[in-house]
Structure 1
Amino acid sequence: MLNIPEHKLIHDVPTRWNTAHDMLVRYVEQQPAIFSALLDKTAKKTGKDLAMLSDGEMKLAEGLIQLLSPLKQMTTLMSSESTATTSMILPLKTRTLRAMTANPQDSPIIREAKRAVTADLEKSDTNPDLIDYLHRATALDPRFKSLPFIDEAACDQVYKGLVAEILDHEQQVEGTHAEDEDEEKLPSASALPPPQKKTAMSDLFGELFTTGEQHPKPLSATIEGEVALYRAAESLHIDGNPFQWWKLHQHKFPCVSKHAKRYLCVPGTSVASERVFSTAGDIVSASRSCLSPENVDMLIFLQKNMKTE
């Protein structure tokens, strides 16, 4: 009769982050139906101390919905299993802090709630080493590589640190390869190819088209150029997949792409691993308690990786 969706009410669950927001949204949506139901004569006879939210409390509930909406979006994104990498932490934190900026229209309770959320977020990720790590992870994500939440000088510093880290890693890899090559037996002089004979082509064009020796660029210059080229490249659309982008561009940025894999493989939250425990609990039930560990591993693997659509 009221032309509103027929939805059930939602209860707030302390162990689930977004249920407070969902509870308020559903209550505001169903408030006319709740009010009509409580005005029914049967409800008045059987109910005790029935009370409805006042107009001021309803306005507060609507303000809390707006306050909690960015937090719900943030937790929903970080709870995904495909692209919830550490590169998303700083952009989401910055976006959430901006959403917590006080407005003149905010009530005292909303302003206090925003101050509490801001204080809690600012206390997290204060370790300088962790901040450096998150900045580099964000820089290696083609969606956020412009680092718009920090100034230009700080952005340059992040990329300088990234160049130094990639150079150090590549030098270590080259040192390991050099040690392996030294252990191999060097070819004898008799095994070396004989010098090339002078040909008619070299007699005719040798003086005009001499080819000088190609000296390889220093590794540091190669990495600096690669990072500069990556930084100047067009950013990936915010809805794009960074893993697919790096797969397509790994030949263009070989050193940077190897380093990006080391950063982007780190999940930003433990939600995915928690879901594995939940999946295991669904598989190893009371009626299937005799499953061997090997079969449990296979069933969990299939459930998490097999596409059933």
Structure 2
Amino acid sequence: MLDSILQQHEEISTILLKNNQYERIAQINANTLKTVVAFLKLFKEATNDLESDNSTPSASLPLPWSVKLIEHCQAAMLEPLLSGVADVCASRLEELMGTSNTSALPLHMMYRIATLLTPKMRMLRMLPPDEKDDVVKGAKEIIQKMQFHLGPATAEDEPPPAKKQSTTDRFADWEDDASVASVTVPKPIDDEMAEYLSSRLSDNPDPDSVLQWWKFNKERFPALSKLSRFIFSIPASSAPSERAFSVCGRILEERRTGLGPQSISNILFLHSNIAK
């Protein structure tokens, strides 16, 4: 709204001046308006990015955007006109992205882990070293808690295959047991995390597509790939869900109350994908 007024400020002033109504806009200083709009522009870009409902996972966006906005506010504090509001915005952002156990919204650690699991941002250069270590530790704790590090089956879960008859058992002590050889021993979480952090992105197709990257590397990083499927299902905001409910409200009206759940789901799917 402010940007719209700024873009048309001169034209509006001219019209009001001709109609002897200039007092309606006289209190709006164009330079002040320009400063405020420039400050808010980055917040608008962040809002559009975080509320997008495209196919790209958005869980990795809150951390880099919050850090970028905090830096933006800290720079704006040098401007006398903006110092007060910029200070409040920076403090609020730091509070919202808090990851302490006493935080009212501990889910925000999930957003940090999502950034860690985004290959191109996995080094978390926007955070101090100690906070980066906390994120890596948090990822390992979730893997342990949800048992993502466990393989699909172990030697105790399935009976060993029948042993083949050998033509001679003179060297039996030196032969490998087929049942033992077939068991895949998962890598320790620390080793898997260290290998991920040191991996070369150029060795993988399409590193820009996070989901494709983890699909391609699910055998190499089994525990982390399971964690990524869990983490990236979390949206950055509730806006896409709210839009879906709004569309659903227009579909289920008085004359269309007989639609079944699957039909509604199909219509919502088509609406979300065809529109793009």
Q: Secondary structure in 2 aligned to 1:128?
A: coil
Residue of structure 2 aligned with 1:271, choices 239, 249, 271:
239
Aligned residues: 260
Per the alignment, residue 165 of structure 2 pairs with 194
Q: Secondary structure in 2 aligned to 1:299?
A: helix
Q: Which whole-Å CA distance do the structure 2 matches of 1:162 and 1:277 have between them?
A: 32
Equivalences for residues 1-309 of structure 1 within 5 A: 23-40=1-18, 43-44=19-20, 50-53=23-26, 57-81=29-53, 82-103=55-76, 106-107=79-80, 109-129=81-101, 130=106, 131-167=108-144, 169-170=146-147, 173-174=150-151, 180-181=157-158, 192-197=163-168, 219-221=186-188, 223-234=189-200, 240-285=208-253, 288-294=255-261, 295-305=263-273, 307=274
Per the alignment, residue 6 of structure 1 pairs with none
Q: Which whole-Å CA distance do the structure 2 matches of 1:100 and 1:153 have between them?
A: 23
Q: Which whole-Å CA distance do the structure 2 matches of 1:126 and 1:105 have between them?
A: 25
Q: Secondary structure in 2 aligned to 1:32?
A: helix
Q: Which whole-Å CA distance do the structure 1 matches of 2:34 and 2:196 have between them?
A: 44
Q: Which whole-Å CA distance do the structure 1 matches of 2:26 and 2:56 have between them?
A: 41
Q: Which whole-Å CA distance do the structure 2 matches of 1:113 and 1:196 have between them?
A: 85
Distance 1:248 1:217, change over 3 A: closer
Q: What's the offset of the Cα at 1:168?
A: 5.3
Amino acid at match of 1:141: T
Q: What's the offset of the Cα at 1:196?
A: 4.7
Indicate the larger mover: 248-257 or 154-163: 154-163
Per the alignment, residue 205 of structure 1 pairs with none
Provide the alpha-carbon RMSD of the alignment: 3.6
TM-score, with normalisation over the residues of structure 2?
Answer: 0.77
Q: Which whole-Å CA distance do the structure 1 matches of 2:148 and 2:36 have between them?
A: 53
Indicate the larger mover: 292-301 or 135-144: 292-301
Calculate percent identity across the aligned residue pairs.
Answer: 23
Q: Which whole-Å CA distance do the structure 1 matches of 2:211 and 2:152 have between them?
A: 29
Q: What's the offset of the Cα at 1:141?
A: 1.7
Q: Secondary structure in 1 aligned to 2:213?
A: helix
Amino acid at match of 1:134: Y
Structure 1: stretches of 5+ with no match in the other structure? 1-22, 203-209
Deviations along 1:186-208, whole A, 9 cap, x unmatched? 77xxx53112549xxx9xxxxxx
Q: Which whole-Å CA distance do the structure 1 matches of 2:127 and 2:62 have between them?
A: 14
Structure 2: stretches of 5+ with no match in the other structure? none
Distance 1:253 1:127, change over 3 A: closer
> Larger C-alpha radius of gyration, 1 or 2?
1
Deviations along 1:26-74, whole A, 9 cap, x unmatched? 211112211222233xx33xxx5743245x7222111111211121111
Deviations along 1:212-240, whole A, 9 cap, x unmatched? 8998896453x33322121112469xx93
Q: What's the offset of the Cα at 1:262?
A: 1.0
**2:148–2:223: 8 Å Cα contact kept in structure 1?**
no
**1:135–1:158: 8 Å Cα contact kept in structure 2?**
yes
**2:73–2:90: 8 Å Cα contact kept in structure 1?**
yes
Q: Which whole-Å CA distance do the structure 2 matches of 1:308 and 1:110 have between them?
A: 39
